Structures are given as structure tokens and as C-alpha cells.
Amino acid sequence: MNRPFDYQQELDTLHFTPEQKSRIAGQALTAARQASPRRHRPVRRTLLIAAAAVLVLAVGTAGATGILKSAAESFAGVFGGNVAQTEIIDQIGRPIGASATDNGVTITADAILGDQYNACIVYTISRDDGQPLLPEGTSPKSLLMGGFGGADLSIRGGCHGSSWFIDENPDDSAIQMVQSLSADVPITSCTATAEFQDLCYFDEETGSSIPVVEGHWKFRFDVDYEDASITLGGGEAFEQGGMTFTVDKVTVSPVAVQVAYTVDSPVQWSDAPSGRQSDGDRREMERYFENVEILLTKTDGTVIDLSTSGGSIKPKGGVTVCTKGRVLDEILPLADLESVSVGGVVYPVPQV
């Protein structure tokens, strides 16, 4: 392969934010220190097949039990619950209710919302006996999945994202995990496969992850929600670093921002070993991707810098095709957005 990362085909075109790199590095370091067979996919799969006769893995829907929450209820602890946000979530979000149970713990995909290229999913992890899920004093911020930890989408394209944990109600026996996903191809109406393995917390003193609940959970659900995104511009160009960048499309919604652009020269990757980024590759990443400024301006004058968003880089026919964007930290009504700026080119958000 002629790119700096070839862990798997899909990762060839991915770029990770510093926060995502930190999380991935931490999980990789932990897995290396814990030389358990369960960390290796072929062995783990064999063990799961062999254990199928004795493992009780219940897969169903929370809707069948009458406890299916609305999308607004599920996302209240993630994005807040003011009137404007609740109205948008009610409009574009959808409850899911798919779940799996192992080792006395159930993981449920509560709800999903998103747009054409981005999605946000909230899960609930709870003990079936009603007892506290986490040891006393354990912060959700220190949690991570020891292996698999989220949904993969059935798409033909690159995908990046992140996940984090929150505790909506410290007095109950559950916590929530939030996953954001962004792709360089449309993701609406596809299927998601959610898979989780071993809920752990990260011990900063020892630099290792400690299992809180061991188990394996897997289920599927449809990626179904209302796409409220709009498309801005296309064809505008700007010069930077001796290259011409042509903006192909800017997509903005109350949930996310996505920018697609083409650079008039092919990115040149080195032959660095798998998983390592050479100085030359780092400079190429900066020139073609990281140095492209994306600013979202609200009508009140607030500017949100999205320049560190993740995305993809694909050499193609003598040029380089890139996408860059992410799920926003809060739900923003389009009426509250003034413009999106890409490399200094300003795209006003139309007000209906």
C-alpha cells in the first residue's frame, strides 16, 4: 500500500482527530499489555462459536417490554433539553430499542439522529438485577470498551468517529455511551451492527484497563432518521500552500457539518511501516487536510472552529479528493447559523 496506515482497507483513507488518536493509542497500549487470547479476533471468534451452546445471549427490543424511550428523552443528557433542541430531536431523531444481554448486563441502542453523512447514537448499559453497574467512585470519563465498542455501518466508504460515556442518573443502575459517526458516503437507510466487548475503566496509575463487566454483546438495527441537512455552494476555489483547493460540496444540518473538496495534485505518501507516520506523511497530512480551515459562525457572532475534524484523503486520477467534518457538540437550529467558511470562502446559511 502507498499510504501511511494499512491496518485494514477502510482505514487507508481515514484521518483521526487528536482526541481520537489518544483514545485509539490508549486502547492499543492496553490491549498490548494484556496479552489475552480474547484480544485476537480469530481466537475470540472461535471461543464465541464454541461457547454458543452455553452462553445465554438475549437479543430483542426494549419496545417489546414497553420501556422504549423517545429520541428526545434519550438525547436529553447528551445535547441538553431546551425547547428548540427538543423540537429538532423530535423531528429528526428516531428511537431504536435493539439490545443484547450477556453476563447479567444489557446494552440497548436507545435512539439515533443524524443527517446524510453523520449520525449520533446513544446506548444504555444496565445491570439486570438493578444493582449499581460501576464500582463506587468510578467516573464515566474513565470508561472504555476493552475490545469492540460501537456500531459499524454497512457502507462502501470511509468512516470515522468517537465515543464517550455519561451518567444521566447517578442513582440508577445504568450508564450511557454516546457514539458519533461521520462517513464520506451517504449513510441514511443502511444497517448498523453494534458490537461491544468488556466494559473497562482506565487506571491512570498503572496505565492499564481494568474490567468492570466482562461480556460480549452484538445486535443490528436500521439507520433510520430524518435528514435535515442542506447543501451550500460547490465549485468555489481557494489557493493554499501552492495548491488549488476546489470545494465540491458543503453540507450543514442542526447535527453536523461536512465539507468535500478536491486538491489539484496527488498526495504523496511514503513507504513507512504499517501503523507509523513518517515526518513526510505528517507534512502531507497537514498540507492537504489539517491546514484546511473550517469555521461555523452563528447568528450571535459565535465562531465554532471545526478545522480539527476527522475525514478522509483519497488520491484519484492525479488529484486528491478529501472530506472533512463531524457531529457537533450541540444541536443547533439552522436559524441560529450564519455561515460556514472553508479556506476563507464564506457560504451563507439561507434563512427560511
Q: How far apart are CA 339 and CA 303, in angstroms?
A: 10
The domains of the chain are located at: 9-222, 230-348
CB 233 within 8 A of CB 347: yes
The position carrying cell 424511550 is 69
C-alpha 199, offset from chain centre: 18
CATH code assigned to 9-222: 2.60.40.1630
From the list 254, 262, 182, the residue with the least C-alpha distance to 223 is 182
91: pLDDT strictly greater than 90: yes
Q: How far apart are CA 95 and CA 201, in angstroms?
A: 28
What are the pLDDT digits (tens) for 260-304?
999 999 999 988 777 778 899 999 999 999 999 999 999 999 999
What are the pLDDT digits (tens) for 44-79?
222 232 333 223 333 444 443 446 789 999 999 898
- Segments of 204-342 assigned E as strands: 208-222, 230-232, 237-240, 243-252, 256-263, 294-298, 303-305, 311-316, 319-327, 337-342
C-alpha 329, offset from chain centre: 12
What are the pLDDT digits (tens) for 99-134?
999 999 999 999 999 999 999 999 999 999 988 898
Model pLDDT, residue 261: 98
Q: How far apart are CA 324 and CA 30, in angstroms?
A: 29
**186 or 55, greater pLDDT:** 186
CATH code assigned to 230-348: 2.60.40
What are the pLDDT digits (tens) for 220-258?
999 999 999 999 988 999 999 999 999 999 999 999 999
The pTM (predicted TM-score) of the whole model is: 0.79
Residue 189 CB contacts under 8 Å (≥ 6 apart), including other chains = 222, 223, 224
Whether 230-348 and 9-222 are alike in CATH topology: the answer is yes
39: pLDDT strictly greater than 70: no
Q: Let me know if 112 is exposed, middle or buried by CB neighbors in 10 A (0-12, 13-18, 19+).
A: buried
